[in-house]
Structure 1
Amino acid sequence: MKQFLLLIGFLVGMGACKERAPEHVPTGMQYIPEGSYLRTVGLNQQEVEIEGFLLDKHPVTVAEFRTFIEKTGYKTDAEKFGDAGVFDPEKKTWTLVAGASWEYPLGKGTPKAEENHPVTQVSWNDAVAYCKWAGKRLPTEYEWEYAARSNGTKNTRYSWGNKLVENSQFKSNVWQGSFPSNNTAEDGYPYTAPVGIFGKTGHGLTDMGGNVWQWTSETFTEEGQPQMPDVMLLKGGSFMCDSTFCHNYQINGRTSSSRETALFHTGFRCAKSI
């Protein structure tokens, strides 16, 4: 009898250890419950287990980043260097533009970034600083992918499905036309778009593909290649991605950049452990 009661107590304790949804989810964040998903890389598959966490519903906006700057006096890497990366479609190459920053992504003398658009020209260092100030952190690659797969329940190419255009409506802000010389901007936006304008995933997230690349907490690694500790991983693709050249707005898309690099198509969203 004593052993039976001990067993019951053990099982109850096990049940108590099961993750519970947080009583309060901060405004602008989505609860992502624990679970798993099947991750395919090349011909290999692996089952990835994810603990529950919180994730920003959309990338950090210019308005949100402005609040951070005003409250802390933080100076971004681009502002320290005095320039940042912008792609020149005429020269078909990247160039450092003087005065380009989170507030003026294309450089001084160009229009200010719109408040409801994702902030860009922020380095990995800048993203980490913002997340720390907000009491958050950057997501891991697996967390990002799991959330993009609607908490592991979907196995589609994109976070919204398998087609870029559905019912004559674009589902993401990406490149249209002949890359890199001509962007027809059929989706309405040659550069960034307002966060959330292309709709939500089934689990309440927006911009999980296209619009801007998003920094993660991880260093970039590729099978068979040496790890570079100062090169960080990004997910999600951007408005510059074209299916014939850079099809990285797919869930499994990825790229890399150095910690201090700021580019006009790169932003971030924050996560938070429970």
Structure 2
Amino acid sequence: MLFGLMITCWACTGPTQEENPPEHVPEGMQYIPGGTYLKPVESGKKAIAIQGFLLDKHPVTVADFREFTAATGYKTDAEKFGDAGVFDSEVQNWQLIKGAYWEYPLGKDKPKAEDNHPVTQVSWNDAMAYSKWAGKRLPTENEWEYAARSNGRTNTQYSWGNKLVENSQFKTNVWQGEFPESNTAEDGYSYTSPVGLFGKTGHGLTDMGGNVWQWTSEVYAEGGQAISPDMKLLKGGSFMCDSTFCHNYRIAGRTSSSRETALFHTGFRCAKSI
């Protein structure tokens, strides 16, 4: 199993165009009306058109994923490999932990994942399998960014605004302290937190920055060039992100990992075409 992170960021803004919402929006999903937004590219800014779509209000939870595995008998890549990636704060490096998988993301000798937390230790392959079972798909990078900007209306650093802490309250679950030496967990969580705990964006979405990285449907590319067809793009940052090291809970933040990799800070949310 391979695991690793590659970090690149950019910003994007722009106007939107309203359209009529669908007659039925599935429970747990949010209608994202189509429109355009301006995205910086090497030559300047490019207007990106987005068709209306549906997006999960929050990342897929442990309980959601359990329903999927119970219904299908699906085995994740981590279960097949027999291990998964966990960052060991003592040695300050990534380790493959035997027996770690979505129900025990830190390993069998650590607490079981809580049902209302985002599922982790799921690879891109696993996320695709769940999405297909649910009648959904993974979002594109542009869809994710557009939704995080409340349909392109906002030009803030984060999906909730420009500050990590407002009125003495943390707006998301990220690293506090000196990375990677110490995490003070001032926001209340050293690892994942319950979905939706830190509030909603202006468009009713939660966890659009921090908590867990989220798989997208896309191959990771820089400057329009794909690095490898097996390297998939992720958005959103995670509880491991620190503004002095990995400021990727910004809307523009992005990274990549191989399609079979499972990590303790990586999950996903689904989208659905209209």
TM-score scaled by structure 1?
Answer: 0.92
Asked if 1:165 is matched to 2:165, the reply is yes
Distance verdict in 2 for CA 1:115–1:42, change over 3 Å: farther
Partner of 2:66: 66
Aligned-partner Cα distance in 1 for 2:192–2:224 = 35
Counterpart contact for 2:219–2:226, Cα < 8 Å: no
The one-character-per-residue Cα deviations of 1:90-109 (angstroms, maximum 9, x if unpaired) are 11110000000000000011
The one-character-per-residue Cα deviations of 1:81-133 (angstroms, maximum 9, x if unpaired) are 00000001111110000000000000011110000000000000000000000
Partner of 1:113: 113
Partner of 1:76: 76
Partner of 2:13: none
Q: Which structure shows the higher helix fraction?
A: 1
Asked if 1:150 is matched to 2:132, the reply is no
Partner of 2:12: none
Match runs of 1:34-49 below 5 Å: 34-41=34-41, 44-49=44-49
Amino acid at match of 1:138: L
Partner of 1:51: 51
Aligned-partner Cα distance in 1 for 2:25–2:99 = 38
Partner of 2:96: 96
The one-character-per-residue Cα deviations of 1:177-200 (angstroms, maximum 9, x if unpaired) are 000010000000000000000000
Offset at residue 57 of structure 1 (A): 0.0
Distance verdict in 2 for CA 1:224–1:205, change over 3 Å: closer
Counterpart contact for 2:42–2:223, Cα < 8 Å: no
Partner of 2:217: 217
The one-character-per-residue Cα deviations of 1:210-262 (angstroms, maximum 9, x if unpaired) are 00000000000012755310000000000000000000000000000000000
Amino acid at match of 1:70: A
The one-character-per-residue Cα deviations of 1:121-159 (angstroms, maximum 9, x if unpaired) are 000000000000000000000000000000110010000
Counterpart contact for 2:220–2:226, Cα < 8 Å: no
SS for the counterpart of 2:221 is coil
Partner of 1:12: none
SS for the counterpart of 1:180 is coil
Aligned-partner Cα distance in 2 for 1:152–1:123 = 29
Distance verdict in 2 for CA 1:36–1:102, change over 3 Å: same
SS for the counterpart of 2:38 is strand
- Identity across the alignment (%): 78
Amino acid at match of 1:125: N
The structure that has the greater radius of gyration is 1
Distance verdict in 2 for CA 1:99–1:243, change over 3 Å: same
Asked if 1:208 is matched to 2:208, the reply is yes
Aligned-partner Cα distance in 1 for 2:40–2:89 = 34
The one-character-per-residue Cα deviations of 1:17-53 (angstroms, maximum 9, x if unpaired) are x953110000000000001111235783221110000
Partner of 1:15: none
Amino acid at match of 1:96: L
Aligned-partner Cα distance in 2 for 1:228–1:262 = 18
Bigger mean CA deviation after superposition, 144-153 or 33-42: 33-42
Amino acid at match of 1:157: Q
Aligned-partner Cα distance in 1 for 2:224–2:201 = 34
Aligned-partner Cα distance in 2 for 1:52–1:268 = 20
Aligned-partner Cα distance in 2 for 1:36–1:233 = 21
Partner of 2:15: none
Which structure has more relative contact order (CA 8 Å, sep 6+)? It is 2
Partner of 2:234: 234
List structure 1 segments (4+ residues) > 4 angstroms apart after TM superposition: none
Partner of 2:191: 191
